[in-house]
Structure 1
Amino acid sequence: MTEEKRTFVHVYKLFEKFGFDEAFERSAIMELLELKGSGASKFLSKLVQADIIETVSGHGKGKYKFKK
């Protein structure tokens, strides 16, 4: 599987679980996608840079949500 396809599958799984309204953190990504900490961090960075997710304030540090 190519990296692009794997990323798409990961984003789909993440969105299926959390949708637009629920915040998630790195540990949830590690568990759901079976990634190690560094892989989950890289994945989060990739999604933030692609403007797919955004940081959420008021829910503690390191929380993210999908952008609408």
Structure 2
Amino acid sequence: MIDFDEYIRQGEPQKREKSYAWQTAIGLQAVDGLKPSDYLIETARKDIEGEITFNEAKQLIRSYYQSKASRTPEDSETYEADTASTHIRQLLTEKTFAFTLVGLTSIHRRIFEGIFKFAGQIRDYNITKKE
């Protein structure tokens, strides 16, 4: 996992919160065997440092993948990891969470929007991964 602990230890509340959110988001991708791009890590550091806003970070990540003329299988995996990490970072720094069916499907939609067509939908078939 990427180490943002230096920001957590510094004690600046805003940097600590952003760092924790990025580290958690990236760690959740690692659970699925996905690794973020170096570009995401650098963009996350800029967000944590306050060099760019989160919205700028999100746009930079989106533009990074839109600018690629073709994608390799590795690019597809880092696209998923980077996009989902960005969405998770945003969710973790919001002040409200609703653990209801509507709330959870909304979270799923927001995390996987632009990655999977079924984002936010309840599926009625086996979704077990073969890992």
User: Shared topology, TM-score over 0.5?
Assistant: no
TM-score (normalised: structure 1) = 0.36
Which has the larger helix fraction? Answer: 2
TM-score (normalised: structure 2) = 0.22
